Structure 1
Amino acid sequence: MTSISTAFVVLAALFWGLSGGIGGILMADGWNPLVVSFYRGAIGLLFVLAWLALRPQGSGLANGRMWFWAAVAGVGVAGNFAFYFVSIAQGSVAVAATLMYCAPVFVYLVSFTLKLERPTLLKWAAIAMVMLGIVLLTRIYATGSGGVTLMGAVAGLLSGLSYAVFIFGFKYAAPHGSPQAILVIAFAVLATILISLSDTDQALAVLGTPSWPLFVILGVFGAGLSFILYIVGLNHTAPAVASIVAMVEPVTASLFGVVVLGESLAAVQIVGMGLILVTVTILSVASKS
């Protein structure tokens, strides 16, 4: 059972990595990042609604606290999807995915601020290493170096911060309701936020475009199946193992960007990426072991 559960987590990370590449293809075809994000979340909503219908027990839908924290999670995942695709549009899939992978660092910083976790020298050193990796990856020290714009770098970091908000919201909603009910509320909030911010004409144009299969694939694998697989798999997977296999997402996204989209990274950016991935993974494993 443990090996199957771990495989579920790996598949979820793989699907999330591929979703960045698929989103990159759609945006290269002229689709707005917010529209792409909306369809990813809206199709995901259909899946979690079906999951809730099949397993309605202990939903917690009558609990006000669950609704509040699930809505917070929805704001977080809306920001995560939107900023991630903006970062891809302004830079590259590899950079955006790696910056988003910095989410655990934001979780630590928020935990320190709220006094939920005690800061240590090791944790601060790890955070400093990640910051150095971000500088190398984005090359913010080299004006006009090309590849990553300031907006792309900021959006990538904001996607990680938004994912941290989702983690906190989901964590505090979990004692009051089922995962499927929390995700239904979260994705409903996501869809409401993103459709209100999107170009309505372009959002409607998706329904008649030849690109609609890519939107469906993005929603099915990037939000629908992936979130369900991840949560089900996490129930029987050691947190330390889950932290390690989560690296599949940025690695998959980076390979997709290089092989399919023809993106390239300078040597210093590869060093920065490696520094971020290794440090965040060690930090996550150490905190959950």
Structure 2
Amino acid sequence: MRSVGVSLVILAAICWGVSGGIADILMNKGWDPIVISLYRGMIGFVCFFAWFLLRFKQNWTSSTRLYIWSFLAGVGVAGNFTFYFLTIQASSVAVASTLMYTAPVFVLVISFLLRIERSTWFKWGCILGVLMGIIMLTGAYNTDSISVGLLGVASGLGAGLSYALFIFGFKNASSIGKPQPTLTIAFFSFCLILLFIVDIDEAASVVTSNDIGWLLLLGILGAGISFIIYVIGIQWTAPTTASMVAMVEPVTASLFGFLLIGDQLTIIQILGMVLILVTVIVLSVKKHPHPQIKYSHQRKKKTV
């Protein structure tokens, strides 16, 4: 079952990578990133709600704590999707997806501030490695020819921070109840948040546009199916393995951008991307020793 779990996580990561490319295509057609983000989340919510209703009695919960943590996860995913698409608009799919994977570094820094984790030279070395990778990826080492503007860097790091918030909220909610109600509540919260900031007229015009098919595909691949198979897959996968194979997402996004959209990366940018991804993998492996594998085996006993 372990190989099945890894395969499902890889498939989910590929779906996420492709969704970034689809979003780039839609933005090139003139659609606002927030509108694209809203439809991705709304379609995802419909999928999760249907999954929740399949076993309503087993999935229903009245835990207030689950609602609070799920809402926090919804705030995180709203920020993640929106900042991710804004970064694509400001730079490229490859840069956006890579900056988003700085999430473990944000978790580490917050853990230092809250004194949850001890500060070590190894961990600070990982943080420095990611910062060097960001500088190389964005071209910040040469202010005369910087490839990614300040807005792109800020939104990319915002996507990473939001991703960390989603992981934090989802992990705590899942320890109380099942993933079905957690994802349903999180994405319902997501929809409410974005409805307050989206251009309603533009969002409504999607229904009668020729691009409705692209947005449906984005929502199904980028939220609905991908999150469901990821949640199922991680039950049979150690956290360290899941974090490593999820790195397929920025690779897929980069290939999609290069082959179908025409995005170009310099050698230094590619090296910066590799440095970020390798550092995050090393950090994930070092932070999650063997006891975590035991946890993943215990999760097998839960039914999804």
Partner of residue 94, structure 1:
94
Partner of residue 38, structure 2:
38
Query: How many angstroms does 1:60 deviate by?
Result: 5.5
1:146-170: CA deviation from partner (whole Å, max 9, x where unpaired): 5322101110010000000001111
Q: Equivalents in 2 of 1:149, 1:260: separation in Å? A: 24
Q: Does 1:214 align with 2:214?
A: yes
Q: Equivalents in 2 of 1:131, 1:157: separation in Å? A: 11
Q: Equivalents in 1 of 2:127, 2:273: separation in Å? A: 14
Contact 1:140 1:150 in 2 (8 A): no
Partner of residue 5, structure 2:
5
Q: Equivalents in 2 of 1:32, 1:250: separation in Å? A: 22
1:99-120: CA deviation from partner (whole Å, max 9, x where unpaired): 0011111111112222222222
Q: Secondary structure at the residue paired with 2:46?
A: helix
Contact 2:140 2:146 in 1 (8 A): no
Partner of residue 199, structure 1:
199
Contact 2:138 2:146 in 1 (8 A): no
Q: Secondary structure at the residue paired with 2:56?
A: coil
CA RMSD of aligned residues (A): 1.2
Letter matched to residue 246 of structure 1: A
Query: How many angstroms does 1:61 deviate by?
Result: 3.0
Partner of residue 123, structure 1:
123
Q: Secondary structure at the residue paired with 2:145?
A: coil
Q: 1:147 to 1:209 in 2, by over 3 A?
A: farther
TM-score norm. by structure 1 comes to 0.97
1:115-152: CA deviation from partner (whole Å, max 9, x where unpaired): 22222211111111001100110112323425322101
Q: Secondary structure at the residue paired with 1:176?
A: coil
Contact 1:90 1:151 in 2 (8 A): yes
Contact 2:83 2:158 in 1 (8 A): yes
The farther-off stretch of 74-83 and 190-199 is 190-199
1:14-71: CA deviation from partner (whole Å, max 9, x where unpaired): 0000010000000010000000000000000011101111133553631111111110
Q: Does 1:26 align with 2:26?
A: yes
Contact 1:133 1:273 in 2 (8 A): yes
Contact 1:60 1:176 in 2 (8 A): no
1:215-274: CA deviation from partner (whole Å, max 9, x where unpaired): 001000000001111111000111221121111000000111111110111111111111
Q: Equivalents in 2 of 1:4, 1:134: separation in Å? A: 33
Gaps of 5+ in 2: 290-304
Contact 1:36 1:215 in 2 (8 A): yes
Contact 2:15 2:222 in 1 (8 A): yes
TM-score norm. by structure 2 comes to 0.92
Equivalent residue runs for 1:143-182 within 5 Å: 143-145=143-145, 147-182=147-182
Q: Equivalents in 2 of 1:273, 1:201: separation in Å? A: 38
Gaps of 5+ in 1: none
Q: Equivalents in 1 of 2:230, 2:117: separation in Å? A: 25
Q: Does 1:136 align with 2:136?
A: yes
Partner of residue 112, structure 2:
112
- How many pairs were matched up? 289
Q: Secondary structure at the residue paired with 1:260?
A: helix
Query: How many angstroms does 1:175 deviate by?
Result: 2.2
Q: 1:288 to 1:58 in 2, by over 3 A?
A: farther
The percent of aligned pairs where both chains have the same amino acid is 51
Contact 1:69 1:172 in 2 (8 A): yes
Partner of residue 287, structure 2:
287
Q: Equivalents in 2 of 1:116, 1:218: separation in Å? A: 37
Contact 2:126 2:283 in 1 (8 A): yes
Letter matched to residue 101 of structure 1: Y
Q: Equivalents in 2 of 1:147, 1:108: separation in Å? A: 28
Equivalent residue runs for 1:9-88 within 5 Å: 9-59=9-59, 61-88=61-88
Q: Equivalents in 2 of 1:264, 1:119: separation in Å? A: 38
